[in-house]
Chains A and B, each alone.
Chain A
Amino acid sequence: MPQLLTKTTRTMYQTAQLLEKLHNDTEIFLQQSIQWQLLPTTVLMAKPGPERWSMAQCLQHLNFYGDYYLPAMERAMREAQGKGSRPTPVFHPGWLGAWFTNLMLPQADGSLKSKMQSPKNAVPSAQPDALATLAAFIEQQERMLQLLDLARTVNLNAIRVPISLSRWIRLKLGDTFLFYLAHHARHIRQAEKALAAVLPIAARPVASAKTG
């Protein structure tokens, strides 16, 4: 599990270190999802229980957020760049941003504290196209790496990004990155659990192919 993404009460980050950690976390998500390409679609689409999401559903849920946040963050950074935004050595999370991030993060022991209700427009479809969903997820992580590179040239404190639920609530760019990746960590953990639950039943050939 990415190291940064456990509960925190930090009031400041060294910007360069923060971006490096976020980059490493995204790199881990990417390496995992590249491995998932070798799973049969039946495994990606298998639900571990009637009320639980399949791996593909978890990823589609994250893709909905990526579809909104990646362009929104890029737009905000490009605009700020045009206005001469410069990086600062230190990032201070805002109180609301920190609250959102902590809400998403797993506990130190890895468990998820609160069962959360996903907003209606972020609830995945019953049977997402597993291949297309995984491909889009991977593409989003690659784009995230490029956004984190771009972020090194701008001010994470001053740039604000409207949240997906309301354009009236705007988080600092640094908080948006932290919240976004905490949300990813949450549902990637869920996807891993779904995989662990369905793999022994649904995919004997994969298990043997992996060791062979």
Chain B
Amino acid sequence: MQSELGHLHTLIHVIAPLPDAVWQDFAAVWQPFDARRKTILTAAGETEKYLYFVVEGVQRAYALREDGKESTLVFTYPYSFSGVADSFLLQQPSRYFFETLTPSRFLRTTFRQIDELLLKHPALERLFRLAVSQTLSGVLTRQVELQSLSAEQRLRAFFSRSPHLFQLIPHKYLAEYLGMDATNFSKFLGQIRFA
């Protein structure tokens, strides 16, 4: 638990350092939580109760399409926050599923606890504003990549950003995330890896 909190502290220090007393309050609301591979932590229709901090493993959020297929929206891995962000922040039913793709370890806390702390500590409110801003920036970057890069360019960009994912999870999730079919995915991946 101490080393997990240490990782959380490091992440927060990068975003916006907290005064000691605020950090003590914030550190006190987290509980360790483990989940095995392919565990659905939040289903569509449920409201996200938890904010997760990923200590180990890979997770994804995905939407279920009308044809029954899945669209992977985002991957998370250590050390970052995770969960269905909009459902958590707005406390409205999730439109997405959130699941583990490998055995995973987290710290997690509830909306109620976070909400109370945000009202109490302006420094924490600011931290959350900055964290959500960074998330928004990431979402817009992905939007640009989806609309203006070719499939091969998207794969190259993703491979240089997150090369470790390629040996951790089934490639179908990566291909799905990048909007590519399996054949093109493996062809381009081969070109990148053996170039």
List the interface of chain A (C-beta within 8 A of B): 23, 27, 30, 34-35, 37-38, 40-41, 131-132, 135, 138-139, 142, 145-146, 205, 209
Contact = CB atoms under 8 A, between A and B. Distances in A.
Given A37-B171, A38-B167, A139-B170, A30 B37 contact: yes
A27 B182 contact: no
A30 B167 CA distance: 12
Contacts of B37: 27, 30, 142, 145
B186 interface: yes
Contacts of B168: 34
16 contacts: A27-B37, A30-B37, A34-B167, A37-B166, A37-B170, A38-B166, A41-B186, A131-B182, A135-B170, A135-B171, A135-B172, A142-B37, A142-B38, A145-B37, A209-B193, A209-B194
Interface string B167-192: 11111100000000011001000100
B103 interface: yes
A145 B182 contact: no
Counting contact residues on chain B (CB < 8 A from A), the size range is 10 to 19
Given A205-B194, A209-B194, 18 more contacts: A27-B37, A27-B103, A34-B168, A35-B167, A38-B167, A40-B190, A40-B194, A41-B186, A131-B183, A131-B186, A135-B170, A135-B171, A138-B170, A142-B37, A145-B36, A145-B37, A145-B38, A146-B38
Nearest to A137: B170
Interface of B: 36-38, 103, 166-172, 182-183, 186, 190, 193-194
Contacts of A23: 36
Given A37-B171, A145-B38, A205-B194, A135 B182 contact: yes
A40 B36 CA distance: 29
Contacts of A142: 37-38, 170
A161 B36 CA distance: 27
B169 A34 contact: yes
Nearest to B190: A40
Most buried by B among A30, A35, A205: A30
A79 B172 CA distance: 31
